[in-house]
């Protein structure tokens, strides 16, 4: 029996009968080892070149049609993957914007990309004199912003970034604008403490809180007696003027003065971060009062997408070196206080909105 021709054997080892054909260069090999050796020697990637010339006799075959179909399907698949990346993963654009880019027609007319209650939020921010600087769309700060409008409380439901553990750890939390920030922070601490408990410890904690609530209710019921049990206080006459005084005597000072304020004392200090300061300066902080609401302390202030609150052990007089107070920053830079800058911007916005309404009215009158 005669030996087989070399041209009919594997082009790499010249020993075995070939079993595989390289899709790119049509070289025949007998095994995976010879195929890998061929790719290394010839710098061949083993992928078919869809632009390579093929005679009609090879195209008008089932394999030729499959090759063209796979090529077109691969293009479509890469387009879908790119769209998914920029719309869902990175949130750079909306799907509606892609449709508009292809067809030139918008699916929904009017303002786009607005959260629920955006108009109420804008009106509230304008009345507060608060400016919200927007981060570029798709950036992490923009994606994390979950600020919305609370219909029940009729105020802004802020997304807040809490920098706890002396600014070393970030916690994102939603805060109702009219809630006291001290109570909100205590609730965050309680939630973190509860999350570390076992099931049995959580059950004991719920029972303890229920017992405390019952005790407070019973104490209030004992102190608030019925009005008919009160002894009427007689009217007195002033011996000097002869006038009769109908005011009761021995009234506690609390009843005569303003009601007691709800004060909250924390072992730590809360500070609001002032955004858009030079990187050569330390972080600029504004001390916050835990007994006031978030909306009260954001008046005539600016935030980057949403407020950032630092929780530090140090008081305003002994801040670490990486922080500085706002009044120190204003003295060093000569800038105006934040409230004065924002007041000017607020007046400018109101003037622009008023002039826009006047222009639209004049246009409608001319028609």
Is the pLDDT at 126 greater than 50, yes or no? yes
Between 361 and 115, the more confident residue is 115
Q: CA 308, CA 321: separation in Å to the nearest integer?
A: 19
Query: Which is nearest to 146 in space by CA: 305, 327, 330, 345?
Result: 305
CA dihedral for 93, 96, 100, 102, sign (positive or negative)? positive
Residue 101: what pLDDT?
A: 73
Task: Show the 3-state SS of 27-80.
Answer: CEECCHHHHHHHHHHHCCCCCCCCCCCCCHHHHCCHHHHHHHHHHHHHHHHHHH
190 versus 289: the higher-pLDDT residue is: 289
For 303, the enclosing helix (H) or strand (E) is strand 302-304
Tell me what pLDDT residue 256 has: 38
pLDDT band, residue 36 (cuts 50/70/90)? very high
Report the distance separating Cα 287 and Cα 302, nearest Å: 14
Query: What count of other Cβ atoms lies within 10 Å of the Cβ of residue 338?
Result: 18
Give the pLDDT confidence score for residue 357 in this predicted structure.
47
Q: Answer with the residue of higher pLDDT: 102 or 365.
A: 102
Contacts of 228 (CB under 8 A, 6+ apart): none
pTM of the model: 0.59
**pLDDT tier at 361, thresholds 50, 70, 90:** very low
Beta-bridge mates of residue 155: 150
- Kindly report, residue by residue over 179-237, the tens digit of the pLDDT: 999 999 999 888 888 887 788 887 887 888 788 888 878 877 766 555 444 444 444 55
- pLDDT mean across residues, the chain: 79
Q: How far apart are CA 157 and CA 145, in angstroms?
A: 11
Highest mean pLDDT range out of 21-25, 64-68, 155-159, 166-170?
155-159
The whole-number average pLDDT for the span 26-48 is: 91
If pLDDT is split at 50, 70 and 90, which confidence band does 18 have?
A: very high
Q: What 3 state SS string does 350-363 have?
A: HHHHHHHHHHHHHH
| Across 130-153, average pLDDT | 89
Which range (5-19, 241-255, 295-309) has the least confidence? 241-255
Give the pLDDT of residue 242.
53
- Among the residue ranges 53-62, 250-259, 298-307, 325-334, the one predicted with the least confidence is 250-259
> What average pLDDT score do residues 31-60 get?
88
Higher pLDDT residue, 133 or 253?
A: 133
Report all structural domains of the chain as residue ranges with CATH numbers, in order of start: 1-49 (no CATH), 54-113 (no CATH), 115-193+262-353 (3.10.20.90)
């Amino acid at each position: 029996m005669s030996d087989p021709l070399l041209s009919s054997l594997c082009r790499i080892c010249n020993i075995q009968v070939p079993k595989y054909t390289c899709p790119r260069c049509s070289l025949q090999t007998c095994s995976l080892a010879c195929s890998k050796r061929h790719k290394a020697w010839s710098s061949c990637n083993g992928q078919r070149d869809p632009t390579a010339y093929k005679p009609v006799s090879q195209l008008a075959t089932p394999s030729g049609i499959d090759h063209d179909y796979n090529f077109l399907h691969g293009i479509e698949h890469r387009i879908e993957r790119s769209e998914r990346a920029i719309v869902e993963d990175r949130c750079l654009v909306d799907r509606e914007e892609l449709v508009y880019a292809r067809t030139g027609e918008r699916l929904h007319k009017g303002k786009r990309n607005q959260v629920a209650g955006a108009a109420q939020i804008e009106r509230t921010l304008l009345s507060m004199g608060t400016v919200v600087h927007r981060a570029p769309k798709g950036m992490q700060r923009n994606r994390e912003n979950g600020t919305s409008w609370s219909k029940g409380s009729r105020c802004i439901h802020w997304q807040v970034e809490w920098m706890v553990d002396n600014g070393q750890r970030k916690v994102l939390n939603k805060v109702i604008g009219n809630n006291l920030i001290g109570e909100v922070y205590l609730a965050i601490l309680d939630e973190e403490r509860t999350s570390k408990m076992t099931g049995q410890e959580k059950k004991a904690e719920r029972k303890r809180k229920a017992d405390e609530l019952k005790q407070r209710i019973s104490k209030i019921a004992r102190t608030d007696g019925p009005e008919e049990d009160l002894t009427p206080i007689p009217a007195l006459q002033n011996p000097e003027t002869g006038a009769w005084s109908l005011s009761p005597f021995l009234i506690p000072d609390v009843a005569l003065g303003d009601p007691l304020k709800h004060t909250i004392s924390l072992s730590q200090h809360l500070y609001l971060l002032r955004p858009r300061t030079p990187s050569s300066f330390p972080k600029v902080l504004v001390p916050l009062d835990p007994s006031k609401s978030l909306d009260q302390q954001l008046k005539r202030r600016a935030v980057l997408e949403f407020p950032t609150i630092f929780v530090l052990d140090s008081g305003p007089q002994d801040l670490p070196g990486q922080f500085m107070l706002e009044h120190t920053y204003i003295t060093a830079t000569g800038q105006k206080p934040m409230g004065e800058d924002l007041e000017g911007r607020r007046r400018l916005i109101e003037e622009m909105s008023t002039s826009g309404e006047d222009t639209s009215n004049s246009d409608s009158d001319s028609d």
